[in-house]
Structure 1
Amino acid sequence: MAHKQTYPRTHSSGHKSQVLWSGKNLKPSTLPPLRQAKGHSKSKMKTWSSIQPVQSQTSVEMANLAKNLRGLRRREQAHHGKMQAKVRLMRSMLRNQRTSLQELYSHEGFLSKLNQELVKSIQDMEETMAMNVREMLQQQGILGNVIDILEYSNKKRVQQLRSELQEWKEKEESKINSLQQEVDQLNAEILKAHEEVNFLSTYMDHEYPVRSVQIANHIRQVQQAKDSQQDELDNLKEMREMVLGCFSKMIQEKKKKILRALMVKTQKPYEEILMLKTLDSQRLQRCTVWFRELIQQLKEEIPILVAEVEQMYAEVWNPREVVFKDVLLQRPKCTPDMDVELNIPVQELLPF
């Protein structure tokens, strides 16, 4: 980046030196023709001064000289115009080069700013990348530790599962052996059952019809016996219920008699006391009723008596007021609820 930053300066300085060198090279090319023009004008003046005293030359020579002078003037004018055009071109080129130099300087400043910004952005990117790399390394370390832990736990789990698998295999083998033994036993039982089936097939063909008739007869006899026994059981149930009902009635009557006798025995010593207490309770109930009525009457009379007492208090006079009746004029008291009448004498105006 530093090389790129210094490169435009070297280019601009080289371009500037090239422009100055071209200007220096052009000066000698432009100046000598002007000097030649001045020398030629001096020689022309000398020729005119030499021509004036010599009047004896012929007209042919004069015409030739005039033609030569005209050609020289035309050449000098053309050369002078070319030189002025070259000067103008050089000035315009110098102006253009100056503007281009200014633009190059402005581009140089802009590029330097861009380079600085790029350097800052690259530094920031490098810092962020370094931070990200550090974080990734930390995460990688953490993940490595986690992976190691998981591998260790997985190894333990695999060992545990292998041991469990071995135990399960042993158990399954023992189960398979026991099942094989059961299968062998079942096969033996099946063989026995086949033998019995073969025996029964021969039995069904020969002895089964006779035995089935005998079994049907026995079933009928058993059913008849069951029916007769059921009737007998029903009769026995009815008899039992009747006997139990009679016994329960007798027991209830005996219980009632015993309870009555016990009540009489227990109440005899306390019979008089109970009678007295019942009489007392009846009297107390009557007294309570009478007292309640009396209390109700007294409650009704209390407000009347209170009003009479208040009236009596109002009628009773203070002894001082009775003795000093003339001195202490009795005037009615003014309560907040009473209306007040003002008796103020008014001055009457005389007619005059």
Structure 2
Amino acid sequence: MSSTFDIAGTTSRASQLQTQVSKEDLLKTLGNQLNMDFSQYERWTRKTKVTRPPPPPKDGGSRMLMVGRVKSADSCLHGKGQGHNVTYREKKEAAKMLEINKERNERIKILELRIRTRKKTLDEYLKRSRELLEQNMKLKESIESDEYGTLNAVKGLLRRYEKYRGGITTLNSNFVKEYDAAVRDLEETRHRTNSQLQALEKKVSDLDDSLKEKQEELHTLMSYKDKEYPVKAMRIATLQKEIQNLKIANQEDQEDLEHIVFTELEKYEKEQTRTANSITKSITERAISRMHPSLKDMALQNLVMAKEIEVHKKEQEGLIRVNQALEAEVKKLLRDPKTNTRLQMFPEFFPSRQKCTPDMEVVLDIPTQEWLPI
């Protein structure tokens, strides 16, 4: 039991010392922040500190003895205090102590209020720190996403660069090939152009020679035009006038000759037609004479039948025309009211009614009832 009390007392003293040290540290920190001196507050706390009784002894007898001594000491103190008179100095010190205690209580309240405000500020700071942590996490996520996007973009750019390098290599190789092909084409074109140029130069020389010849011919023609052409032109005009005069003089003879030629041509055509008919007739008679008698009869019958067919066709056409005329007459008779036997026999049952045309005026003659006078 005594060891238990010792441990409890030691623990309580350690907790008190720790609390006191923490309070002193807190007051020093607040004093440094608020520029105040809390040394008097430490003295106040030390003066007003309540003394605890010593731990109980290990054995029960000594414990009872200590309790009796403490009680006797308290009774002595109380007796002494009751018999002692309070002086002016003690009253003054007591009043001073009351003022000090009052100021201390006010300062304690102020400190408690400040502590509460600091706690509230600390809570706000903690809340703000949590918000900042959340924002930092969001920023971290956004930065990571941006870094991931940037990484993908860089990878894409690197791939494009690799493709670009491959394309540049391909272009360079193609350029070398095309350059070699262009050089070969240039050499071939130069050789072909030189050969064509030589051919053109030869043609130019030939054309120059022909041009010289044509110029000489032109010079000859110009000299002919200046010297011989006027004489020959006058001769041509004279001959044309003579031809015109001859045409006028021989126009009647020409007309007579044309009439004679036309008459002879008509005679020749008639003679030709007669000769052709006679030849055709003789050939036909010769062919018929060589034919079998049955074929002759058949041909004759065919001719007769053809004639009869023509006659019957003409008769049929006449009958068709007669039928058409009869049909028209029948239609006309059907439209004629005189052919209507009922109307002719009973005219009172079929009164004549005039048809109403669109250009006629319509007059409604509706019978009305007239009341008899009363």
The number of equivalent residue pairs is 248
Q: What is the alpha-carbon distance in structure 1 between the residues aligned to residue 28 and residue 187 of structure 2?
A: 105
1:262 aligns with 2:280: no
TM-score normalized by the length of structure 2: 0.48
Q: Which has the higher contact order (CA 8 A, sep 6+)?
A: 1
1:105 aligns with one of 123, 126, 132: 126
Q: Partner of 2:168: helix, strand, or coil?
A: helix
1:21 is matched with which residue?
A: 25
Q: Which amino acid aligns with 1:215?
A: K
How does 1:1-352 map onto structure 2 within 5 Å?
A: 21-23=25-27, 29-30=40-41, 32-33=43-44, 36=47, 49-51=83-85, 66=88, 68=89, 71-184=92-205, 208-209=226-227, 211-220=228-237, 222-223=239-240, 238=258, 246-267=267-288, 269=293, 270-276=295-301
Residues 176 and 18 (structure 1), Cα distance of their counterparts in 2 relative to 1, 3 Å cut: farther
Q: Partner of 2:110: helix, strand, or coil?
A: helix
Q: Partner of 1:159: helix, strand, or coil?
A: helix
- Superposition CA RMSD, Å: 5.1
Q: What is the alpha-carbon distance in structure 1 between the residues aligned to residue 106 and residue 256 of structure 2?
A: 165
Percent of pairs with identical residues: 14
Residues 278 and 149 (structure 1), Cα distance of their counterparts in 2 relative to 1, 3 Å cut: same
User: Residue 215 of structure 1: CA displacement?
Assistant: 1.8
Residues 249 and 167 (structure 1), Cα distance of their counterparts in 2 relative to 1, 3 Å cut: farther
Residues 166 and 226 (structure 1), Cα distance of their counterparts in 2 relative to 1, 3 Å cut: farther
Q: Partner of 2:140: helix, strand, or coil?
A: helix
Q: What is the alpha-carbon distance in structure 1 between the residues aligned to residue 262 and residue 22 of structure 2?
A: 152
User: Residue 96 of structure 1: CA displacement?
Assistant: 1.8
Q: Which amino acid aligns with 1:274?
A: A
1:62 is matched with which residue?
A: none
Which whole-Å deviations, capped at 9, do the CAs of 1:94-147 have from their partners, x for residues lacking one? 212222222232223222222322232222223222322333333333333333
Give the stretch that moved more between structures: 274-283 or 244-253: 274-283
Q: Partner of 2:151: helix, strand, or coil?
A: helix
Residues 146 and 247 (structure 1), Cα distance of their counterparts in 2 relative to 1, 3 Å cut: farther
Which whole-Å deviations, capped at 9, do the CAs of 1:281-336 have from their partners, x for residues lacking one? 979xx9xx9xxxxxxxxxxxxxxxxxxxxxxxxxxxxxxxxxxxxxxxxxxxxxxx
Q: What is the alpha-carbon distance in structure 1 between the residues aligned to residue 122 and residue 39 of structure 2?
A: 25
User: Residue 200 of structure 1: CA displacement?
Assistant: 8.4
Where do 5+ consecutive residues of structure 2 fail to align? 1-20, 32-37, 51-76, 317-374
Q: What is the alpha-carbon distance in structure 2 between the residues aligned to residue 129 and residue 30 of structure 1?
A: 62
Residues 34 and 273 (structure 1), Cα distance of their counterparts in 2 relative to 1, 3 Å cut: closer
Q: What is the alpha-carbon distance in structure 1 between the residues aligned to residue 145 and residue 213 of structure 2?
A: 95
TM-score normalized by the length of structure 1: 0.51
Residues 20 and 51 (structure 1), Cα distance of their counterparts in 2 relative to 1, 3 Å cut: closer
Q: Is the 8 A contact 1:37 1:76 kept in 2?
A: no
